[in-house]
Amino acid sequence: MAAHYPHPLIAREGWPFLAIAVVVSLAVGAFAGWLWSIPLWIIALFVLQFFRDPPREVPSDPQAVVSPADGRIVVVGRARDPYRDRDALKISVFMNVFNVHSNRSPVDGTVSKVDYHAGSFLNAALDKASLENERNALLIELADGTQVTCVQVAGLVARRILCYVGAGSALLRGQRYGFIRFGSRVDVYLPVDAEPRAAIGDKVYAAETVLARLPQKK
């Protein structure tokens, strides 16, 4: 099962970084003077904003595919899903260092496989990062058999992908399942007949923005 988050505002991944930043800032201020500690407090504020993890309102539409991350849409179009070897609608969200970096499930479903690949650390805004960078794919199957692939992709600065679910985990739309540190992207591969609701350049929010609608199976 996915790990639960007991906090509403700060991702647990950031607690150690925030604690270190605050302690160092206090120590420098106490021993060297508060003026010298100003740059360190600025760094602490950056750490605080990077690891923020606000609650979100998830759309109730059962056919909605929500954004797995905050950021900007950089890809909407037909592509090959390399994890299922099939044609798909690909939608990619690029996260810069100022976006919320918690990753959330785009759909209700069960994880059938987790597929991790080590790789490079190219600029995550580049489309080739999807196949060359460090990445972690969740292969999700919905109750009606629809298959969705959600891929965490490390970026130029990111060096660690965190994923808290495994094969057999049940996910709810908008549920937190992982985190990527310091700039990255998330790719979503959907059935080719899914209806895109996002366009390149759109600013999106994890769990709230609808990226696409899945066709309703009869």
DSSP character at residue 133: B
Residues 138 and 183 grouped into a single domain? yes
Query: Does residue 73 carry a pLDDT above 90?
Result: yes
The answer to whether residue 120 is catalytic is no
DSSP character at residue 35: H
Q: The tokens of 102 are what?
A: 């918690």
Residue 57 lies in a domain: no
Cβ distance 121 to 134 under 8 Å?
yes
Q: What is the mean pLDDT of residues 173-194?
A: 90
Q: The tokens of 11 are what?
A: 């991702």
Residue 6 lies in a domain: no
The active-site residue out of 92, 102, 130, 184 is 184
Number of domains in the chain: 2
Residues 93 and 124 grouped into a single domain? yes
Query: Does residue 1 carry a pLDDT above 50?
Result: no
Domain ranges, residue 25: 12-50
pLDDT digits (tens, 9 = 90+) for 81-107: 999 999 999 999 999 888 888 899 999
Query: Does residue 159 carry a pLDDT above 50?
Result: yes
Residue 145 lies in a domain: yes
Instruction: Give the span between the Cα atoms of 77 and 199, in whole angstroms.
Output: 10
Q: What is the mean pLDDT of residues 15-30?
A: 88
Confidence band for 120, pLDDT divided at 50, 70 and 90: confident
Q: Which residue has the tokens 């965190």?
A: 162
pLDDT digits (tens, 9 = 90+) for 189-203: 999 999 999 999 999
